[in-house]
Amino acid sequence: MKTGAELGTLEASGLIQLAVLEPELEYLFRHALVQDAAYASLLKQDRRTLHRLAAETLLATYPDRKRELAAVIAMHYEQAGDAQAAAPYLVEAGEHAQERFANREALSFFERAVALLASDPRIELRLRAMLGMAKVGWSFTASDKYVDLLERIVAETADRNDPRLIADAYFWIAFIRRWRGENPETSAGLRSALDNAERIGEKLGDPIAHAIPKAFMGVGMMFSGQLREGAKQTREALAAMEGKADPLSTAILSGFLTMTLARLGDFAAAEETLAYGEQLAAQGDEIARLDATIARTGIELERGELDKSMALAESCAIKSE
């Protein structure tokens, strides 16, 4: 069926109406009550047919806007009962929302995709959906499920999946394990994830392959009281990662280093590191910016500026909500 005929079918059903002819042909859904009444009058199979037509019409009419319209296209395919067609657009919608820092919206798309892809043979798509869940959900939902999901799919598909995605999965397994308090020296799961991320990174020629385990070791030392050696390791890792790693990871790492330098009394170095972290945070999401504010709180606290640190801490608590 041609696009014009498909649009005519949708218009005849009472679901849409012509909005404008120029510069591009555009249709709008009718008033919600009219739409609901028209929708309720349709048989289930007719509804599914119309939803499929809506998805196909969007794809045919706006071929250059697939990413922008991915959420709507996915919804129509879901309502059409076509999980196989809906899943890629849910993943794309999640990645698009993630790029705009709409993390809760992105998480919803990724979760729907993972549910649809449970037994799907498209292992790369499944891993993209699970990675998306971990990247946007680790900071405000239970993180254990993301580690479990990623470890299972890596064990199942590592020899058949995109090695860059597998390396990314190992990194996020390590990142979340470290975030919840595990240490590379005592956690076999964390150590294994780091080793595998480094191994794959080296094989792919990744320039920061060695920096990632160094960063985790440095953070572990800082948290265990080995401040000077931990700061040294973390500085070296940050230098290797500069301009090559994602802003969120480097911003968070800079925050840890800032607070450690402040505890050591090296406020000039702490301020310099914080300024770098703030530049990175500006390129990242709200979590990265919040982390930079937490680092500032640490500096003021170590300086003895209790009023400033309390005000900043309260601000962080409000923003985190």
Output the DSSP codes for 223-268. HTT-HHHHHHHHHHHHHHHTTTS-HHHHHHHHHHHHHHHHHTT-HH
Q: 180 vs 138, 143, 176, 217, 285, CA distance in Å?
A: 10, 8, 6, 15, 20
Nearest residue to 130 via CA among 161, 169, 159:
169
The residue assigned the tokens 């320039």 is 207
**Do 161 and 116 sit in the same domain of this protein?**
no
Beta bridge partners of 28: 17
Query: Residue 224 in contact with residue 216, Cβ under 8 Å?
Result: no
Question: In tens digits, what is the pLDDT along the chain, a chain of 321 residues?
Answer: 455 666 566 566 655 554 444 445 454 555 555 556 555 655 566 778 888 998 999 899 888 999 999 999 999 999 999 999 999 999 999 999 988 878 899 999 999 999 999 989 999 999 999 999 999 998 777 778 999 999 999 999 999 999 999 999 998 999 889 888 888 888 999 999 999 988 998 888 887 777 888 887 888 788 778 899 999 999 998 888 887 777 777 888 888 999 999 999 999 999 999 898 888 777 766 777 877 888 888 888 898 988 888 888 887 777 665
- Tokens 């120029």 appear where? 22
Alpha-carbon span 7 to 57, nearest angstrom: 7
269 with 314, same domain? yes
Alpha-carbon gap, residue 35 to 38, rounded angstroms: 5
Query: Which string of DSSP letters, residue by residue, matches 64-87?
Result: GGTTTTHHHHHHHHHHTT-HHHHH
The pLDDT score that the predictor gives to residue 20 is 43
End-to-end CA distance of the chain: 49
136 and 147 part of one domain? no
Question: Does residue 320 sit in the same domain as residue 231?
Answer: yes
Both 201 and 240 in one domain: the answer is no
Whether 217 and 312 share a structural domain = yes
Among 98, 77, 139, 76, CA closest to 290: 139
Segments in the chain forming alpha helices (H) = 3-12, 32-40, 44-61, 70-79, 83-99, 103-116, 123-137, 144-157, 163-179, 188-204, 211-223, 227-241, 247-263, 267-283, 286-303, 306-320
Based on the domain organization, do 163 and 232 belong to the same domain? no
CA dihedral 23, 25, 30, 36 (to 10 degrees): -140
Angle between helices 286-303 and 306-320 (to 10 degrees): 160
Query: 20 forms bridges with which residues in the sheet?
Result: 26
Q: Are residues 151 and 57 in the same domain?
A: no
Domain count, the chain: 4
**Same domain membership, residue 157 and residue 187:** yes
CA distance 161 to 122: 9
Same domain, 131 and 152: no
Q: Which residue among 164, 179, 206 closes a domain?
A: 206
Model confidence, pTM: 0.70
Tokens of 233: 């390791």
Q: Give the Å distances, CA to CA, from 19 to 16, 22, 23, 173.
A: 9, 10, 11, 49
Whether residue 235 is found in the same domain as residue 310: yes
CA dihedral 104, 107, 108, 113 (to 10 degrees): 170
Last residue of a domain, one of 191, 206, 221: 206
Segments forming the whole domain that contains residue 258: 212-321
Question: From residue 147, how far is each of 2, 10, 181, 213 by CA, in Å?
Answer: 46, 44, 14, 18
Please give the pLDDT value at position 1.
47
Is 284 exposed, middle or buried, given 0-12, 13-18 or 19+ CB atoms closer than 10 A? buried
Predicted confidence at residue 320, as pLDDT, reads 62
- Residue positions counted in the chain: 321
